[in-house]
Amino acid sequence: MDLYVILRRNGWSSPEELSEAAARSTAEGERMADDVRWIRSYVLEEGAGVGTVCVYEASSPEAIRRHAAAADLPCDEIVRVADTVVVRDDPAKAAA
Amino acid sequence: MDGLLERESQLAALAAALEEARTTGRLVLVQGEAGAGKTALVKRFGELARDRARFLYGRCDPLLAPRTFGPVAEVAAAAGGDLAAAVESGAPAYDVLHPLLDELRREPTVVVLEDLHWADQATLDLLRLVGRRADETRALVVATFRDVEPSHPLRVAIGELAGAAGIRRVTVPPLSLDAVRLLTEPAGLDAAELHRLTGGNAFFVTEVLTAGAGRVPETVRDAVVARLASLGPAARGLLDVLAVLLDRAEAALLAELAPEELDAAPACLAAGIVVADGGTLAFRHELARLAVDELLPPGRRLELHRRILRALTARGADSARLAHHAEGAHDAGAVMEHATAAADRAIRAGAHREAAAQLGRALRFADALVPADRAELLERRAHECYLIDAIDDALTAKAEALELRRSLGDLLKVGDLLRMSSYCLWLVARNDDALAAAEAAVELLETLPPGRELAWVYANMAHRARVALDPAGAREWAHRAAELAERVGADDAAADALVTLGAVDAMDGLGATGLERAVAHARARGLDGIAARGIAALAFSAVRARAWDEAERRLAEGLEFTTERDIDTWRSYLLAWRGVARLDQGRWNEATADAERALTIGLAPVNRASALATLGLVRLRRGDPGADAPLEESLAIVAASATSSHRLVPAAVIRAEQASLAGDPAGALAATRVAEPHELADRWMAGELAAWRARLGDPVADPGPLPEPYALELAGDHAAAARAWDALGCPYDAALALAHADDVDALRDAHARLQELGAVPAAAVVARRLRERGVRSIPRGPRPSTRAHPAGLTRRELEVLALVREGLRNAEIAARLAISDKTVDHHVSAILAKLGARTRSEAARLAAELEDGEPAART
């Protein structure tokens, strides 16, 4: 399993929609526990709505896309993470 | 421990599945690491549900080559009747399926199959077949297994079931820190430290706790060993016997194997290393057995195997088990006897993986065999290896057999082996070696009286010629094969030649009737492998012609046939080509799913190349990471196996696409110069090549006749070309045709289409072209948040709502859409909220009103 960054720009028009999406993402993630593991997300302010940058551990980019299709999440771009460099911990964690 | 910690949700899930199974059967997959407590969970479920269903149990053993239908045989024995008869008769999975389904329909039943990571191929085949039809029964099948690598046969079998309705998954995770704390409080140990050390592994935790305060063991093995410390030599002796026995043992057997040590059984039970279960003694857990097993000195182990072999032979135990002990006892004669018997059993049941393993085992002890017998054993092993796609092993065995046959002067067999080696060499893309072997076979067999072997060589040569795109050569060889086959009564070779002739006709555009007739002919004679080849050829030509309806139909037919008859090589081929079909239709998620499945099943390079290309192209077109590796591997396979420059053309167009998306038009152009379009027999390929040449600024003067969409694009009418592609159902090709037009409208259209497909790199290239033409407002991407629906329902929510209006319950919707029940729950809540409805029926009514009446204000 490799680590991937997923961009979901402008995915939702409100934070409420996003938390519905998060619930679906968790539900589908349970079904695909061997293939995708949601690590963390940053919620992006997009003006007319919100988007996310997500970090997932996954067996392949296709697994990420399958998960997104099942959970009805947008999936603009997938990039493989070559290395993780933590300089400081996040200042505050948002609940998943 | 009385109750189980942190297993409420798993028990609830099992109970719910059992309830559902009263009307429609369920398969629950219980997954967890070794020692997580899967058996404990299932046992507890059994206690709780005892009165609600009949329970049947089956277990798998950690044998190198497990017993054919091991756990199924236990279940069948308990159930009796037709099912027991079917399993005992040695029938393959397909024939056991129906008695099993009947048995599972009769009354509410729970079938527990444990440790399926050790399952034999016949059991896995049956699981696949049952899993797809679980909803036809009234049974709950609970299958437990450990995490295994993606290429493990169990994962492949489960992957096949992924989309089926009626499958549920339960994971048994490690214990949390809180749970460990609850357990350690009375003992006064450091919970955090223990949790860190054990990772929350239930077995490990209980081992440590039982060991008590004092030195905390570092590994599971140390923990078990610590328990052993308190036991005397008699107890250790008993445990040694049990460890090598690999199975529960009745008192009578133990009395025979360990007469002096049996008295120590209570001590072993008290120490908690073994458990008693209905008159048998067994290790509490496989991890405990392993720990004891690892401590056995080799001499003792060998002696135990000997003793056990004697005792079990007298009891008529399963030959796979006897072969295992015979090997451990270094008893060559016994290995030979039992391994070959186990192989025969496995072959009859279609468990070719186990058959190959048993025959390999027999060969390791075959020094005493005369050359002819050894050669026969090698030939059998080679055949089994071929069937499970372990082609390199097959070739090794054939080579050794060939030398033996040659030394025996059995030229007929030598010729036949050369022929079969040739076929295998072709499968691993060693084309030059394959041709050499085939020619040697022809030369040799033509010096002998003509027979079946020679007919087969001719048939193989025909097949090879067709694959090398030499229709005239293929026809010549095929006619020679058919004529000789008829003369010598070699029905199978004749059928094979017929298939090749039919395929050549289809390739030459003479229609598929000949091929269909050849397939029917082969099926009628039970020649499954040959029929599969014909069905594959039918599917292939429909895919190449882009006749999607026909292609999907042929592919479905072929996949069902090859799945039921367990013909993995052709199943993987069909999956790979369905991947190509989906790729061309723009169904990219499905394309990669098929390609991935083909890659896990099939190892033959010939099948790998197209699946790898599909995977690589989807990643390339989406801009996803990891496009290069599969494409490079695919191109390398094709390059190594190319017998003419024409075979390099598919690679050339891939390189052209790669280079053009990477902004390297010169490289792309160079790639396309590998052949001239007018030379190619495949006109679609000619069109693709000619189109790329034109797009890259070096049009071909006279490409020859081309399929309509390519002809239109080359004539400069990109919009018409796109319409032609649309009519064929090829969205990416349509977008590409527009993307290379000059006018802004076409480019805008191309950009929108490419974004819709998720073809990010190509869309970016088109966006650049638009900007170069002064166009400013280029849309950034499809906005999932922009809704056309009056109440702001998304596409997925509309899908769910449609099914709600049909009256489906959430579980049924989940099965239909292949998503989880919880996800459907969330969608339904969102739908109700957006429509302002309180119930599903109200939502259905409101939705209907919205459709008929005026739309409400847009979101």
- Looking at residue B642, its pLDDT comes to 66
Minimum mean pLDDT range among B196-205, B260-269, B420-429, B780-789: B780-789
Three-state DSSP class for residue B516: helix
- Looking at residue B858, its pLDDT comes to 36
Of A4, A30, A69, the CB nearest to B589: A69
Three-state DSSP class for residue A57: strand
Identify whether the C-beta of residue B600 lies closer than 8 Å to the C-beta of residue B159: yes
Q: Which residues contact B87 (CB under 8 A, 6 or more apart)?
A: B69, B72, B73, B76, B96
Of A59, A61, A70, the CB nearest to B619: A61
Q: What stretch of H or E contains B533?
A: helix B528-544
Three-state DSSP class for residue A91: coil
- Dihedral sign from CA coordinates of B90, B91, B93, B96: negative
In tens, the pLDDT along B135-163 reads 788 899 999 999 887 778 888 888 777 66
CA B233: distance to chain centroid? 47
Minimum mean pLDDT range among A78-87, B619-628, B833-842: B833-842
- Pairing relationship of beta strands A50-58 and B54-59 according to DSSP bridges: unpaired
Which chain A residues touch B if contact means CB-CB below 8 Å?
A: 4, 9-13, 17, 20, 23-24, 26-28, 30-31, 33-34, 48-49, 59-62, 65-66, 69-72, 74-80
Q: Which amino acid is at A59?
A: S
- Looking at residue B622, its pLDDT comes to 95
Minimum mean pLDDT range among B706-715, B753-762, B818-827: B818-827
CA B842: distance to chain centroid? 44
Q: List beta partners, residue B168.
A: B28
Structure tokens at B373: 């017998």
DSSP assignment, residue B447? T
Share of chain B above pLDDT 70, in %: 96
**Chain B residues inside the 8 Å CB shell of A10:** 781, 783-785
Structure tokens at B409: 């002067």
In tens, the pLDDT along A35-54 reads 899 999 999 998 888 999 99
The distance of B146 to chain A (nearest Cα, Å) reads 12
Helices (H) then strands (E): counts for chain B: 45, 8
Q: CA dist B339 to B311, B345, B352, Å?
A: 17, 10, 13
- With CA atoms as reference, report the closest residue to B306 among B246, B215, B245: B245
Cβ–Cβ gap A33/B859 under 8 Å = no
* Band of pLDDT at residue B414, cut at 50, 70 and 90: very high
In tens, the pLDDT along A50-68 reads 999 999 999 999 999 999 9
Give the long-range contacts of residues B776-780, CB within 8 A, separation 24 or more. B778/B751, B779/B751, B779/B752, B779/B755
DSSP assignment, residue A6? E
Question: For the whole prediction, is pTM greater than 0.90?
Answer: no
Strands of the A50-58 sheet, one edge to the other: A36-45, A50-58, A2-12, A77-80
In tens, the pLDDT along B214-269 reads 667 778 888 888 888 888 889 999 999 999 998 888 888 988 998 888 888 888 88
* Band of pLDDT at residue B302, cut at 50, 70 and 90: very high
* Band of pLDDT at residue B357, cut at 50, 70 and 90: very high
Q: Which residues contact B109 (CB under 8 A, 6 or more apart)?
A: B53, B54, B55, B56, B103, B138, B139, B140
Q: Which amino acid is at B263?
A: D
What phi, psi does B354 have (nearest 5°)?
A: -70, -35
Give the separation between CA B493 and CA B453, rounded to whole angstroms: 9
In tens, the pLDDT along B734-781 reads 999 999 999 999 999 999 999 989 999 999 999 999 999 998 878 776
CB atoms within 10 A of CB B159: 18
Based on C-alpha coordinates, what's the Rg of chain B? 32
Give the separation between CA B691 and CA B276, rounded to whole angstroms: 74
- With CA atoms as reference, report the closest residue to B531 among B498, B553, B483: B498
Give the separation between CA B690 and CA B686, rounded to whole angstroms: 6
Nearest chain A Cα to B588, which residue? A62
The distance of A28 to chain B (nearest Cα, Å) reads 6
Based on C-alpha coordinates, what's the Rg of chain A? 13
Chains A and B form CB pairs within 8 A to the count of: 89
Q: Which residues contact A21 (CB under 8 A, 6 or more apart)?
A: A11, A12, A71, A72, A73
Q: Mean of the pLDDT values across residues B108-128?
A: 92
- Chain B 753-772, residues with CB within 8 Å of chain A CB atoms: 758, 760
Identify whether the C-beta of residue B461 lies closer than 8 Å to the C-beta of residue B438: yes
- Chain B 818-847, residues with CB within 8 Å of chain A CB atoms: 818-823, 826-827, 829-830
> Chain A within 8 Å of B554 (Cβ-Cβ)?
no
Q: CA dist B348 to B90, B317, B567, B801, Å?
A: 6, 18, 14, 49
* Band of pLDDT at residue B787, cut at 50, 70 and 90: low
Give the separation between CA A39 and CA A56, rounded to whole angstroms: 5
Nearest chain A Cα to B618, which residue? A62
Instruction: Kindly provide the residue ranges of all beta strands, DSSP E only, lying in B189-255, ordered along the sequence.
Output: 249-250
Cβ–Cβ gap B626/A74 under 8 Å = no
- Looking at residue B646, its pLDDT comes to 64
Of A9, A33, A48, the CB nearest to B171: A33
The distance of B729 to chain A (nearest Cα, Å) reads 22
Share of chain B above pLDDT 90, in %: 50
Instruction: Kindly provide the residue ranges of all beta strands, DSSP E only, lying in B72-223, ordered along the sequence.
Output: 109-114, 139-145, 167-171
Structure tokens at B39: 């058996």
Q: CA dist B617 to A2, B622, B623, Å?
A: 20, 8, 10
Nearest chain B Cα to A46, which residue? B785
Q: Mean of the pLDDT values across residues B420-449?
A: 90
Of B781, B785, B823, the CB nearest to A13: B785
DSSP assignment, residue B216? P
Residue B783 has pLDDT above 60, yes or no: no
Q: Which residues of B298-335 are buried (b: 16+ CB within 10 A; e: fewer)?
A: eeebbbbbbbbbbbbbeeebbbbbbbbbbbbbebbebb
**Chain A residues inside the 8 Å CB shell of B830:** 20
Q: Mean of the pLDDT values across residues B277-299?
A: 88
**Chain A residues inside the 8 Å CB shell of B169:** 30-31, 33
* Band of pLDDT at residue B785, cut at 50, 70 and 90: very low
Give the separation between CA A71 and CA A49, rounded to whole angstroms: 19
Q: Which of B624, B780, B800, B825 to mutate against chain A (most A CBs within 10 Å)? A: B624
Give the separation between CA A79 and CA A94, rounded to whole angstroms: 23
Give the separation between CA B816 and CA A14, rounded to whole angstroms: 29
Give the separation between CA A68 and CA B823, rounded to whole angstroms: 12
Structure tokens at B199: 């990772």
Give the separation between CA B388 and CA B120, rounded to whole angstroms: 13
Identify whether the C-beta of residue B129 lies closer than 8 Å to the C-beta of residue B93: yes
Q: List beta partners, residue B804.
A: none
Residue B497 has pLDDT above 60, yes or no: yes
DSSP result, B677-697: GGG-S-HHHHHHHHHHHHHTT
**Chain B residues inside the 8 Å CB shell of A18:** none
Residue B477 or B638, more confident: B477
DSSP result, B551-580: HHHHHHHHHHHHHHTT-HHHHHHHHHHHHH
**Chain A residues inside the 8 Å CB shell of B626:** 60-61, 80
DSSP result, B730-783: -HHHHHHHHHT-SSHHHHHHHHHHHHHHT-HHHHHHHHHHHHHTT------S--
Cβ–Cβ gap A4/B625 under 8 Å = yes
Instruction: Kindly provide the residue ranges of all beta strands, DSSP E only, lying in B200-345, ordered along the sequence.
Output: 249-250, 274-277, 280-283
Identify whether the C-beta of residue B92 lies closer than 8 Å to the C-beta of residue B149: no
> Chain A within 8 Å of B623 (Cβ-Cβ)?
yes
Give the separation between CA B207 and CA B499, rounded to whole angstroms: 63
Cβ–Cβ gap A62/B818 under 8 Å = no
